[in-house]
Homo-oligomer: A and B are copies of this chain.
Amino acid sequence: MTIHADGRSLDVVGIGNAIVDVLVSSDDAFLEKHGLNKGGMALVDAEQARALYEAAGPGLETSGGSAANTLAGLAQLGVRAGFIGRVRDDQLGAIFSHDIRSVGARFETPAASTGAATARCLILVTPDAQRTMCTYLGASVDLEPADLDLDLVRQAGMLYLEGYLWDGEAAKRAFLAAAEVMRATGGQVALSLSDAFCVERHRQSFQELVDGHVDVLFANEAEITALYQCDGFEAAMEQVRGRCAIAVLTRGALGSVVLGNGQVHRIDPWVLGPLVDTTGAGDLYASGFLYGLTRGETLERCGQLGSLCAGQVITQLGPRPRASLPQLVAEHLG
């Protein structure tokens, strides 16, 4: 382990659901038949997961999980990244563990030897490149304070949390415990709201979390308007202003807005090729943004880095960039 001048061995540590994605080409009729909200994330139990998978077409499996995608992207960019999440000691757990370690992230949460299988997310990709997710949380939801490597948290300058964890009581407690440790060591806390339906389920506690613990907030348009029950984007933007040091609001093809230091930066989306699959767009935006932040870049530049990384991942299937992000950054923002 290398301890740098800042006395820390990691730049960012993330806590999230450790998930393997199953990407399947689908269509609107399938979503309708199975009562799925296009673009959203639905939680399913083991039996529903089995039935949906059986009905779906052939899949492509790849490591996923929102915070895990962000941390894998950060590691690829050369940021010292660690991840905390819970898999089972099964084949999908081995795939998840290999993939995140193989890009250089630290992942040391012990695989559970009993209980539910490694989490899976059936991602139905429609011809318009939208993704609709059905998540079986499996082992992932049982993440609890005892699993939490607080030493790993203490080694990092920033803690990154995904809102999806809010759906599990134990995971939520682990999440808050880690945030308090991070604050106590003088580090920063970043949160991604993850999903508008998840925000609907936990609005009150998300508002308290943002006010009390969050330095950097990531949300897309649906999430931020759900959080403050606003009619439009501009109204939601006014609501969040000043509640945390930095708010990063993404709007898909409309680009993104970064609020911080009393300023508003509007960032263009980055178009690198035909749109294939939006899975991981928000996660990789966060990778690029936090990469910039750890290097002390301006907020505008951080937004551009986020936009570039998101722009890459939507030109491919799946949420883990197969192109070289450092090369991309050197080419476009070098």
- A interface residues (Cβ-Cβ under 8 A, vs B): 25, 53-54, 56-63, 72, 90-92, 95, 98-100, 102-103, 117, 317-318, 320, 322
- Of B54, B92, B99, the contact of A58 (CB 8 Å cutoff): B99
- Of B57, B63, B72, the contact of A102 (CB 8 Å cutoff): B57
| Set of chain B residues within 8 Å of A92, measured between Cβ atoms | 91
Closest B residue to A91 by beta carbon equals B91
| Set of chain B residues within 8 Å of A322, measured between Cβ atoms | 25, 60
Q: How many copies does the complex hold?
A: 2
**Nearest CB of B to A184, in Å:** 34
- Of B25, B61, B95, B117, the contact of A62 (CB 8 Å cutoff): B61
Cβ-defined contact, B117 with A59, below 8 A: no
Within the assembled complex, what's the spacing in Å between the Cα atoms of A117 and B54? 22
Cβ-defined contact, A60 with B60, below 8 A: yes
Closest B residue to A72 by beta carbon equals B58
| Set of chain B residues within 8 Å of A62, measured between Cβ atoms | 58-61
Cβ-defined contact, A54 with B98, below 8 A: yes
Within the assembled complex, what's the spacing in Å between the Cα atoms of A98 and B103? 29
Within the assembled complex, what's the spacing in Å between the Cα atoms of A54 and B99? 9
Cβ-defined contact, A60 with B61, below 8 A: yes
Closest B residue to A103 by beta carbon equals B58
Within the assembled complex, what's the spacing in Å between the Cα atoms of A61 and B53? 16
Cβ-defined contact, B58 with A61, below 8 A: no
